[in-house]
Structure 1
Amino acid sequence: MPTAFELPTDADGVIRGNIFFARQPAQGVIILAHGYKGFKDWGMFPYAASQLSENHHVLTFNFSHNGVGEDLQTFSELEKFAVNTYSRELEDLALLLAYVNTQFELKGLPVYLIGHSRGAGVSLVYALDHPEQIAGVLSWNGVTNLDLFTPEQKEEMRTHGRSHVTNARTNQQMPLDVSILEDLEKYKERYAIIDRLASSSLRVALFQGTEDSQRLQDGSAALVRVRPDIPWHQIAGGNHTFNTVHPFQETTPQLEQVITETLGQIAVWRY
């Protein structure tokens, strides 16, 4: 069973997470970051973390302002979601890395970031900012462009201070404060993932379903054009969540493939 933890943040938030301790002597630490409108207990994540923890300590967590509250299942903190900037998520990752260092005697154990969707983009920026901390980033159907907002949403943010995005699963109208757009524009160069990776030696691997959105596939293609050394693992027939749903029903061939190939990629990097 995983061990729960909570980390208070400076911005009146709480990072709630779980540690899946390695069942064999640990060869590293994996931090699994959820994406936009996601959370640590969504569908596939607990199962994936359990499978990845054969010989790695694995941490899952909710970003402090992802909108999911103490019940860990519902978006009950929409006012926090409204101001969940990328800067906040990067600060959350910094707190999480500090926590990892206090919980585990790393003694050279590598730390890997696995990010799904938006979580991959944030993980890449963090690793680019702190290459000495991160041994590699593994992107699961990840974004390479952090600007996820439509022109209409941006206009509403600028004109009215707030827009909304629909959660297709819950039908909630989730608020987006203009501070998110201001953060995106203020740190435009910091968030330019493809440009920064073009001149970086950061270890990155892409894992993408062939049925993932065209926008994300195009972003991956743009990344591997500037970094041909980055492996791009194609998951045949896989959609954005590798054919899993929430609540989690059962694993899928696509999820099993991404887990197996993720561990295989880490093993290649290790040796």
Structure 2
Amino acid sequence: MGNRKEKLYGSRVVRGTLHLPPGGAKAVQGTLLICHGFKGFKDWGFFPFAAEQLAILTNLNVIRFNFSHNGVGADMGSFSEPERFAVNTYEREQEDLAAVMALVHSEAFMQWKEQLYASLALSDPIRIPSFDSRMLVQADHLSNKPIYILGHSRGGATALLYALHNSERIAGILTWNGVTNVDLFSNEQKESLRTTGRSQVINARTGEALPLDAVVLEDLERNVERYQIIERMSTAQFPLIMVQGSNDLPGFCEGSSRLQQQYKEAEWVIIDEAGHTFQAVHPFQGTTRQLNEAIEHSALWLKKQLQLRHT
């Protein structure tokens, strides 16, 4: 079964949306990548709005994308590929993120963006849907423009893990209600994964049961030391801001506090009366005070980081 699944679900497509800031190619300061969380996807709730606002406020190209095994297929809005979700691991997400980084650094991608700017009279950010992994080419040089990564929830852990291994390739990390302890499975889920090879997790929004395969637990157990984010932050060498709701999920605020104790340079911003999604919902019903504050703090931090690069 495992080999058959690898054949069926081993191929990768990384679908994404690029937000170009107004002002033309010469005004672009760099790139921001946005990583969604567990049971998340690039078009969920606040992601399109937040990406558009951050492009406007920072003059960064902003890319939000779906991890290849997040379970959301070509329709972009439903978990139509549950068997991919079942085998999604942090290791796979690290590989996907590395592929997107290669895309951003590639000459082909830079030329593509220049053509977009040349052909469009920009007054607002332009959303270009659906680049995918078939566009990816090996980077033949490193861009001199900085690349930042913003991760929400589990995406925050994915961003931090990437930065801990590739600090020279990124200019800074932002987490929104980020995960610091990657092992969030219950004892019952683990027991089921060990004894039957399969468990499930309920999507609270839709009520659907999404499958989990033993490979997700094997990934955590095989990479125990690599995935100890809090312990490893004492050697971190990258700028970091953690934006968190005061009413975030249990244990998440405690994890951020422990992380900051390990890495004093990290900034930690608490949004009053904000939950895990800053009171935003899916389908998106409009912005909220809490979401606006998260965007504003993030934009200010990014602009400060950009200014520091020029001093």
TM-score by length of 1: 0.94
Within 2, Cα distance between the matches of 1:39 and 1:200?
28
Question: Rg: which structure is higher?
Answer: 2
1:17 counterpart residue number: 16
| Aligned Cα root-mean-square deviation (Å) | 1.2
1:29 counterpart residue number: 31
1:75 counterpart residue number: 79
> Structure 1 stretches (4+) deviating beyond 4 angstroms?
none
Between the two proteins, the alignment pairs up a number of residues equal to 262
Within 1, Cα distance between the matches of 2:42 and 2:95?
18
- More helix by proportion, 1 or 2? 2
- Name the stretch that deviates more: 19-28 or 63-72: 19-28
CA apart distance, 1:107: 4.3
**The residue matched to 1:96 in structure 2 has which SS?**
helix
**The residue matched to 1:15 in structure 2 has which SS?**
coil
Within 1, Cα distance between the matches of 2:169 and 2:289?
32
2:6 counterpart residue number: none
Unaligned ranges ≥5, structure 1? 1-9
1:59 counterpart residue number: 63
Bigger relative contact order, structure 1 or 2 (CA pairs below 8 A, ≥6 apart)? 2
2:110 counterpart residue number: 104
1:256 counterpart residue number: 292
Change (3 A) 1:186 1:107: closer
The 5 A counterparts of 1:150-189 are 150-189=186-225
1:93-136 per-position Cα deviation (integer Å, ceiling 9, x unaligned): 01000011122377421100000000000010011111111111
Q: Which amino acid in the other structure matches residue 110 of structure 2?
A: F
- Name the stretch that deviates more: 222-231 or 77-86: 222-231
**The residue matched to 1:122 in structure 2 has which SS?**
helix
TM-score by length of 2: 0.82
CA apart distance, 1:149: 0.5
1:156-212 per-position Cα deviation (integer Å, ceiling 9, x unaligned): 000000110000111111111000000111111111111111122221110001111
Q: Give me the identity figure in percent.
A: 48
Within 2, Cα distance between the matches of 1:201 and 1:98?
21
2:240 counterpart residue number: 204
